[in-house]
Amino acid sequence: MSSPHLEHPRWKGFLAAATVIACWTGFNIVSRLGGKSALTPFDMVALRFALSGALMLPVYFAVKNTLPPLRLLAMAAAGGFLYALCAYSGFVFAPAAHAGIIVNGGVPLGSALLAWALLKDRPSPRTFWALGLAATGVLVLGFNSLGGGHAENSLEWVGDLFFVAAALLWACYGLLVRIWHIRPIDAVSGIAVTSAAAYLPVYALFLPKGLAVASWHDILLQTFYQGIVAALVAAFSYAYATRSLGSGVASLTLAIVPGTSALLAVPLLGEPVTPVTAAGVFLVTAGAGLGALVKKTAPGPKPRPRGPG
Q: What is the pLDDT of residues 168-192, one digit of tens each?
A: 999 998 889 888 888 888 988 999 9
Residue 306 domain-assigned (yes or no): no
Q: Is the pLDDT reported for residue 89 higher than 90?
A: yes
Q: Is the pLDDT reported for residue 294 higher than 80?
A: no
The DSSP 8-state label assigned to residue 303 in this structure reads P
- pLDDT value for 152: 53
Residue 135 domain-assigned (yes or no): yes
Count of domains observed in the chain: 1
Residue 299 domain-assigned (yes or no): no
96, 168 contact by CB (below 8 A) = no
Residues near 103 by Cβ (< 8 Å), separated by ≥ 6? Answer: 87, 90, 163, 166, 167, 170
Residue 300 domain-assigned (yes or no): no
**Lowest-pLDDT range of 7-11, 20-24, 36-40, 43-47:** 7-11
Q: Is the pLDDT reported for residue 58 higher than 70?
A: yes
DSSP run (H or E) holding 107: helix 96-119
Q: Is the pLDDT reported for residue 6 higher than 50?
A: no
- pLDDT value for 252: 65
93, 229 contact by CB (below 8 A) = no
- pLDDT value for 249: 67
Residue 308 domain-assigned (yes or no): no
In the chain, % of residues over pLDDT 70 = 85
Q: Is the pLDDT reported for residue 119 higher than 50?
A: yes
| 198-223 residue pLDDT tens | 999 999 999 999 999 999 999 999 99
- pLDDT value for 256: 77
Mean pLDDT of the chain: 84
pLDDT band at 5 (very low <50, low <70, confident <90, very high): very low
Q: Helix or strand or coil: residue 21?
A: helix
**Range 102-127 average pLDDT:** 83
Residues of the domain holding 54 = 7-292
Residue 2 domain-assigned (yes or no): no
pLDDT band at 305 (very low <50, low <70, confident <90, very high): very low
Question: How many CB atoms within 10 Å of residue 153?
Answer: 15
60, 111 contact by CB (below 8 A) = no
Residue 298 domain-assigned (yes or no): no
Residue 305 domain-assigned (yes or no): no
Higher pLDDT, 124 or 58: 58
